[in-house]
């Protein structure tokens, strides 16, 4: 019932040794997700890649054409009727994007925030999102790595390395994918084993002593067998501090991946992926943007603590009682220790008419975490997680071969998830009590899906897709306990042995695509997506009431878009507009139990809607100069939602007080803009480049009132690189938030009077040296 003590820091080489052992002992994993792409941000012709590539080199000044597989077959990104952004691995490295949180500053309509600064990311696309810091619930945005789904949200908070590109799809997904989502999907496409020997390494050093080391070795090892071993380690980077001179924010993460391609026969091939990562990083610190009045609110005459004078300031500390319960020291630094390991295998058998593929996989992960949600050295709101999970999934699909008048795909998907969670919360200074929730959860998902495209005429295509999904989610042995100062349970009967949530629901898509010319494509689509229901698993007042399930949400999406290339002007412009009809939207709110009173809970808002649009433009007005600009706009509101506001008591019975939220805006930034300007030129035997970039987002308006609004902000960055034409080495530099904008990325409260914020990073700079063979 205690969290493990914090291990001693480990070097990158020791961690790599542990990971090699992990890779040797893991088994299979896989699933499916794809997307389409936008041009890479380079105006000069790219050098021949030593790894597999999806595009050919364009002439100078032309925009790169990228081939993607969003519909299970190779197509030009401009010919697929999906709103999607694609970020190349080179661009991610140039901008120093190391994990999923950095993607939002390169992509319109995407927001990724760590809940309360924890290791749990919350994803929002076009205003469709889900705020939950607990470990066990499904996200409305799916995350995939080489077609393998990652359904455990905290397990997506890992290193982003040896990536060919990242594809961000907007809108419901499901008729082509193993899992179902309402918001969209984020797909990592990895660099693959090469036909010839290749190797490379990079070393990076930056602000706050941040270090990063990357390397890979790739090539054939035997006839019909190619392998690629890649790894990355990150260290340092602590940028937050206490008023006593201590620092917080060091990263200590190491990851390895081994890919193997095997040609078993002329028409049969296999791909095996072994991967693992170890994380011993500090957590993100919070700061008080308003006075801490929690103790006085619950204990009249208690102390009030002033707001922090700077966003870089943070504090931590807890009571001896909570430290003993969580297995930490009272002065323990907050930490996020998220470890992931697994494997996948994919088999592809080619027939004359179709390709039969099977993707099977198994992944394990653990979350050991201590967070200080009150930004003080007191035990006002401290939490600890000890979570472990494993996921098995298998997808069997048949995809038609060739480009015919009728192209189709059909598949079956099965997944089994097991999660065991211990969640502790410490409230000694406010309530003189510590609490904990302990449970396990099993999720079984079975679905069948299919999609077909009929070419009515050479310029007019009709697509239809259908998916039927059955899910059974079982919450088992849910214990919601309170502890006295000696660590004894004071309410041992507060237990629910089992709660279940089952559903069988369809999702579907209809799309019409018209191509008036070779460089212009229009599409209109209607689709419906589903996101799983679940349980609120972090309340202790009444086990049965706290574990009351919330239902799946359903999203009916209408979208229209146009993708236009003007080759002579070296211009590409993609635009889209959407309208979402939301049913049973999942919202972090409250409920009232007759015996327990007000309980924080995830609830369903019966009706709401969203509308908006996006654009992405790439223009090369001069040889070597590339200008990019993207933007997203999304607004929404509740149409029918009687939300619990408070409660009142008559005798021993509690009754709810409701607030009509009709017309209230949904919580998400209305505007997001991202842009860059990059100029590349040749200087003798060398290539040089300079670039500037920016990202803007408007004010995030909270459901909890103006005090918790997150003010809009704009951050600027710069990049530079220098390399010989041959490309055997490179020297590059980056600067993020170069004007040192001070801003918050999240504001919230854990208890009344505990108003906390997570600050964005200050100005950071770095230099990178790379070599390849």
What is the per-residue pLDDT for 57?
A: 42
Q: In this structure, how many other beta carbons lie within 10 angstroms of the beta carbon of residue 518?
A: 11
Q: Three-class SS of residue 93?
A: helix
pLDDT band at 1 (very low <50, low <70, confident <90, very high): very low
Does 227 have pLDDT greater than 90? yes
The contacts of residue 14 (CB under 8 Å, 6+ apart) are none
Q: Three-class SS of residue 220?
A: strand
In three-state form (DSSP H/G/I as H, E/B as E, the rest C), the secondary structure along 525-545 is EEEEEEECCEECCCCCCCHHH
Average pLDDT, integer, range 430-445: 93
pLDDT band at 635 (very low <50, low <70, confident <90, very high): very high
What is the per-residue pLDDT for 174?
A: 80
8 Å CB contact between 141 and 121: no
pLDDT band at 759 (very low <50, low <70, confident <90, very high): very high
Q: Three-class SS of residue 705?
A: coil
Does 134 have pLDDT greater than 90? no
**What is the rounded distance in angstroms from the CA atom of residue 166 to the CA atom of residue 614?**
18
Burial 568-606 (b: 16+ CB within 10 A, else e): eebbbbbbbbbebebbbbbbbbbbbbeebbbbbbbbbbe
What is the per-residue pLDDT for 234?
A: 96
What is the per-residue pLDDT for 16?
A: 42
What is the per-residue pLDDT for 3?
A: 38
End-to-end CA distance of the chain: 51
What is the per-residue pLDDT for 69?
A: 55
What is the per-residue pLDDT for 68?
A: 56
Q: Which of 127-131, 185-189, 440-444, 545-549 has the highest mean pLDDT?
A: 440-444
Q: Which of 76-90, 109-123, 171-185, 648-662 has the highest mean pLDDT?
A: 648-662
**What is the rounded distance in angstroms from the CA atom of residue 156 to the CA atom of residue 179?**
16
User: pLDDT: is 270 or 66 the higher one?
Assistant: 270
Q: In this structure, how many other beta carbons lie within 10 angstroms of the beta carbon of residue 760?
A: 17
User: pLDDT: is 624 or 705 the higher one?
Assistant: 624
From 149, 146, 147, select the one nearest 138 (Cα to Cα): 149
From 712, 710, 758, 766, select the one nearest 738 (Cα to Cα): 766
Burial 370-389 (b: 16+ CB within 10 A, else e): bbbbbbbbbbbbbbbbbbbb
Laid out side by side, the sheet with 110-114 consists of 110-114, 121-125, 128-129
Q: Three-class SS of residue 117?
A: helix
pLDDT band at 11 (very low <50, low <70, confident <90, very high): very low
User: pLDDT: is 48 or 262 the higher one?
Assistant: 262
Say which residue the tokens 């469709």 belong to.
128
pLDDT in tens, 23-74: 334 333 333 333 333 333 333 333 333 333 334 445 555 677 765 555 566 6
Q: List phi, psi (to 5°) of 585.
A: -60, 135
pLDDT band at 687 (very low <50, low <70, confident <90, very high): very high
Average pLDDT, integer, range 504-532: 95
Residue 13's beta-bridge partner residues? none
The contacts of residue 609 (CB under 8 Å, 6+ apart) are 579, 580, 581, 582, 636, 637, 639
pLDDT in tens, 233-248: 999 999 999 988 899 9
User: pLDDT: is 18 or 77 the higher one?
Assistant: 77
Pairing of strands 184-190, 141-145: parallel
Q: Which helix (H) or strand (E) holds 281?
A: strand 281-282
What is the per-residue pLDDT for 669?
A: 82
Q: In this structure, how many other beta carbons lie within 10 angstroms of the beta carbon of residue 123?
A: 26
Does 648 have pLDDT greater than 50? yes
Average pLDDT, integer, range 680-684: 95
**What is the rounded distance in angstroms from the CA atom of residue 250 to the CA atom of residue 208?**
9
**What is the rounded distance in angstroms from the CA atom of residue 655 to the CA atom of residue 653?**
7
Report the alpha-carbon angle 679-54-568, nearest 5: 50
pLDDT in tens, 177-216: 667 889 999 999 999 999 999 999 999 999 999 999 999 9
pLDDT in tens, 688-699: 999 999 999 999
**What is the rounded distance in angstroms from the CA atom of residue 238 to the CA atom of residue 284?**
9
What is the per-residue pLDDT for 73?
A: 63
Average pLDDT, integer, range 299-326: 93
Does 584 have pLDDT greater than 90? yes
Q: Which helix (H) or strand (E) holds 428?
A: helix 428-431
Q: List phi, psi (to 5°) of 324.
A: -65, -40
Pairing of strands 755-759, 744-749: antiparallel
Average pLDDT, the chain: 88
User: pLDDT: is 649 or 686 the higher one?
Assistant: 686
pLDDT in tens, 83-118: 999 999 999 999 999 888 899 999 999 998 888 777
What is the per-residue pLDDT for 281?
A: 95
8 Å CB contact between 676 and 691: yes
């Amino acid at each position: 019932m205690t969290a493990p003590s914090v291990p001693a820091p480990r070097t990158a080489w020791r961690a790599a040794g542990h990971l090699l052992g992990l890779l040797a002992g893991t088994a299979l994993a896989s699933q499916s997700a794809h997307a389409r792409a936008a041009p890479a941000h380079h105006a000069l012709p790219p050098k021949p890649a030593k790894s597999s590539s999806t595009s050919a080199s364009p002439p100078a000044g032309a925009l790169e054409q990228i081939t993607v597989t969003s519909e299970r077959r190779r197509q030009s990104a401009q010919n697929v009727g999906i709103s999607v952004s694609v970020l190349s691995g080179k661009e991610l490295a140039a901008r120093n994007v190391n994990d999923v949180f950095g993607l939002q500053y390169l992509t319109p309509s995407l927001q990724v925030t760590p809940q309360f600064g924890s290791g749990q990311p919350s994803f929002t696309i076009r205003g469709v999102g889900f705020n939950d810091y607990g470990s066990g619930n499904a996200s409305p945005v799916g995350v995939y790595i080489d077609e393998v789904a990652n359904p455990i949200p905290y397990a997506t908070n890992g290193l982003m390395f040896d990536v060919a590109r990242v594809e961000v799809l907007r809108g419901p997904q499901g008729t082509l994918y193993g899992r179902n989502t309402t918001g969209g999907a984020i797909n990592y496409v990895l660099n693959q084993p090469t036909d010839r020997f290749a190797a490379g390494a990079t070393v990076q050093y930056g602000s706050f002593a941040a270090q990063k080391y990357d390397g890979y070795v790739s090539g054939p090892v035997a006839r019909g067998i190619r392998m690629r071993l890649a790894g990355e380690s990150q260290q340092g980077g602590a940028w937050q501090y206490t008023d006593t001179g201590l620092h917080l924010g060091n990263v200590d993460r190491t990851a390895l991946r081994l890919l193997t391609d095997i040609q078993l026969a002329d028409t049969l091939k296999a791909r095996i992926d072994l991967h693992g990562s170890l994380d011993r990083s500090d957590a993100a610190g919070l700061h008080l943007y308003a006075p801490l009045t929690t103790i006085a609110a619950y204990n009249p005459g208690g102390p009030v603590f002033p707001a922090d004078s700077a966003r870089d300031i943070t504090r931590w500390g807890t009571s001896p009682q909570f430290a003993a319960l969580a297995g930490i020291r009272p002065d323990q630094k907050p930490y996020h220790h998220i470890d992931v390991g697994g494997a996948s295998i994919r088999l592809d058998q080619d027939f004359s008419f179709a390709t039969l593929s099977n993707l099977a996989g198994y992944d394990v992960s653990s979350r050991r975490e201590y967070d200080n949600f009150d930004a003080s050295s007191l035990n006002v709101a401290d939490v600890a997680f000890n979570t472990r999970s494993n996921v098995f999934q298998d997808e069997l699909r048949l995809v038609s071969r060739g480009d015919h008048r009728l192209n189709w795909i059909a598949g079956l998907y099965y997944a089994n998830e097991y999660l065991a969670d211990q969640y502790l919360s410490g409230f000694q200074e406010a309530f003189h009590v510590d609490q904990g929730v302990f449970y396990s959860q099993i999720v079984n998902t079975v679905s069948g899906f299919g999609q077909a495209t009929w070419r009515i005429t050479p310029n007019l295509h009709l697509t239809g897709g259908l998916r039927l999904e059955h899910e059974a989610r079982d919450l088992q042995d849910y214990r919601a306990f309170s502890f006295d100062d000696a660590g004894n349970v004071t309410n041992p009967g507060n237990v629910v042995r089992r709660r279940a949530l089952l559903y069988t629901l369809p999702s579907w898509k209809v799309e019409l695509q018209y191509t008036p010319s070779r460089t212009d494509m229009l599409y209109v689509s209607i689709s419906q997506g589903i996101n799983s229901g679940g349980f609120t698993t972090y309340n202790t007042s009444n086990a049965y009431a706290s574990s009351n399930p919330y239902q799946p949400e359903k999203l009916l999406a209408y979208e229209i878009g146009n993708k236009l290339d003007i080759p002579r002007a070296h211009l590409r412009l993609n635009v889209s507009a959407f309208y979402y009809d939301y049913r049973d939207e999942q919202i972090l709110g409250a409920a009232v139990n007759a015996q327990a009173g007000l309980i924080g809970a995830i609830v369903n808002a019966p009706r709401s809607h969203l509308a908006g649009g996006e654009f992405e433009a790439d223009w090369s007005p001069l040889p070597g100069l590339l200008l990019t600009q993207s933007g997203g706009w999304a607004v929404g509101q509740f149409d029918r939602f009687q939300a619990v506001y408070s409660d009142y008591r008559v005798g021993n019975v509690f009754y709810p007080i409701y607030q009509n939220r009709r017309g209230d805006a949904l919580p998400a930034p209305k505007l997001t803009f991202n842009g860059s300007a990059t100029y590349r030129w040749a200087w003798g035997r060398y290539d040089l480049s300079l670039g500037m970039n920016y990202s803007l987002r408007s004010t995030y308006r909270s459901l909890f009132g103006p005090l918790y609004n997150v003010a809009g902000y704009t951050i600027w960055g710069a990049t530079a690189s220098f390399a010989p034409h041959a490309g055997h080495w490179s020297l590059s530099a980056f600067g993020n938030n170069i004007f040192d904008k001070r801003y918050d990325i999240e504001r919230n409260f854990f208890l009344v009077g505990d108003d906390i914020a997570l600050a964005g990073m200050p100005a950071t700079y770095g230099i990178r040296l790379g070599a390849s063979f």
